[in-house]
Amino acid sequence: MRAVRAWFGDTAGGLPAVFWYLWSGLLINRVGAFAMLFLPLYLTDARGAGDALAGLVVGAYGLGGVAGVLLGGVLTDRWGRRSTLLWSHLTASALMATMAVVTSLPAIALLAALVGIAHSMPGPAFVAAIVDVVPPARRSRAFNLQFWAFNLGMAGASALAGLLAEASYLALFLVDAGATLVTTVIIAWKVPETLVRAAPARPPAGPETVPTRRAGLRTPLTDRIFLAFVALTFAHAVITAQNSTVMPLAMRADGLSSSAYGLVVALGGLFIVVGQLFVPRLIDGRRKHRVLATALGLAAIGYAGLAVADALPGYLLAALVWTIGAMLAAPPNAEINAELAPPRLRGRYQAVFFLTFPAAAFVAPAAGGVSLQYLGNGHWLAVGALGLLALAGHLLAGPPRERRVARLATTPATTSEPTPASTP
């Protein structure tokens, strides 16, 4: 572990050891987490499902994730970060091993939904634990490294999965289950509980305060500035989800193999591995909403470019463009989410934020499979248009969001946070 931190040098910014164990668990898990990435091809090639049915089954994974992030957020605040991480990873490992031997499409759809729950539960706990142990001044670097580890793992997973998918889909699920189990062991061994269970001070009476202990999910779900940020993140997530849900079907229609798809995904991960560590120097000191707007513009250009891509070089070039956007967006997205969340509701805010990803994982294949079938290449132009709308949204929503963050930074820690619904 010391060698890893020494290799990163100043980029690591003196991050605590607990962060590095969380980082290592995430990396190992991602290296093996490629089974769901190839689920559309598994369903169509090995189980005889059509494109629309495959989209719906993959959508069940995203639908399960909606319940998973809500459950994970509540458990993160009540049960603890460590316990939530442990049991969600252990459950995901068992479910993935079961999916390896099940052949019935209805059973696969049910398992996909359950895996979606188990895969989404750790998200709020991971981020809440990082925010718990990393000082605010170093969180941008921590989230940048978290995103780097995620994509380093995905790069290795995609390259390996492209070969395994052509040899054995059974191996895909079993290796995924094994990697998840290794992550469970790391968390159980090295990650302590980071949730501080101190009794909150009684807030002064007044119309602009609510007891955060009682607010629960109501507080983030009535926080208009936070929900605007979540909606824009959802739009970006729908665009990004095309990579793992609709693009494999489009590449197959263009006569490209599973290994070609694995190469495209691996290139994006490899580019992030090389370039993500330089992102802090590009975005430090810049206003977050402008960075996010730039990221959405690049995503729009990249995915719209697939309308004219019909060979591997075209897909690789498009992937390069949208990957730059993803690299720029990751740190400010995580920072904004942490800045807007009251400390005692950190898990719940993370849960609502993380809803965007399973929701996108449901919407993207469910609508994208039908859209690709009937619109053809016009589907990618519609995805690009969505990116431009989200770009405009960030430019409009950014200034009031920054004013909220500045106001929260001056709120005394001993009182409850302002009621989000009452904030102009």
Residue 421's pLDDT is 35
Residue 158's pLDDT is 66
Residue 91's pLDDT is 94
57-66, 184-193, 404-413: range with lowest mean pLDDT: 404-413
Residue 198's pLDDT is 58
pLDDT above 80: residue 27: yes
410 Cβ partners below 8 Å, 6+ apart?
Answer: none
pLDDT (average), residues 48-55: 77
Q: Are 257 and 358 in contact (CB under 8 A)?
A: no
Of all residues in the chain, the percent with pLDDT exceeding 90 is 23
167 Cβ partners below 8 Å, 6+ apart?
Answer: none
pLDDT grade for 239, boundaries at 50, 70 and 90: very high
Identify the bridge partners of residue 209 per DSSP, sorted by sequence position: 418
pLDDT (average), residues 105-122: 89
- What is the C-alpha separation between 161 and 418, in angstroms, rounded? 48
pLDDT above 80: residue 231: yes
> Could you report the per-residue pLDDT of 350-369, keeping only the tens digit for each?
888 878 877 787 788 778 77
pLDDT above 70: residue 342: yes
pLDDT above 90: residue 189: yes
Residue 215's pLDDT is 53
> Could you report the per-residue pLDDT of 250-303, keeping only the tens digit for each?
888 888 877 788 788 777 777 877 887 788 778 877 888 999 999 999 999 999
pLDDT above 70: residue 16: yes
pLDDT (average), residues 110-127: 89
pLDDT above 90: residue 127: no
Identify the bridge partners of residue 385 per DSSP, sorted by sequence position: none
172-176, 211-215, 256-260: range with lowest mean pLDDT: 211-215
pLDDT above 50: residue 113: yes
65-69, 87-91, 130-134, 398-402: range with lowest mean pLDDT: 65-69
Average pLDDT in the chain = 80
41-55, 92-106, 288-302: range with lowest mean pLDDT: 41-55
| Separation of CA 139 from chain center | 17
- What is the C-alpha separation between 266 and 70, in angstroms, rounded? 31
Residue 10's pLDDT is 45
pLDDT above 70: residue 206: no
pLDDT above 90: residue 42: no
3-state DSSP call for residue 209?
Answer: strand
Top-ranked range on mean pLDDT: pick from 3-12, 29-38, 79-88, 196-205: 79-88
- What is the C-alpha separation between 144 and 149, in angstroms, rounded? 9
CATH number of 13-191+222-422: 1.20.1250.20
Q: Are 124 and 337 in contact (CB under 8 A)?
A: no
Comparing 227 with 243, the larger pLDDT belongs to: 227
- What is the C-alpha separation between 370 and 374, in angstroms, rounded? 6
Among 299, 358, 300, CA closest to 330: 299
Residue 32's pLDDT is 61
DSSP H stretches of helix in 138-223: 139-167, 169-190, 212-215, 218-221
The sign of the dihedral angle between the CA atoms of 253, 257, 258, 262 is negative
| Separation of CA 285 from chain center | 24
Comparing 274 with 392, the larger pLDDT belongs to: 392
What does the longest C-alpha to C-alpha distance in the chain come to? 67
pLDDT above 50: residue 218: yes
3-state DSSP call for residue 102?
Answer: coil
CA dihedral of 171, 177, 180, 181, whole degrees rounded to 10: -120
pLDDT (average), residues 31-46: 77
pTM here is 0.69
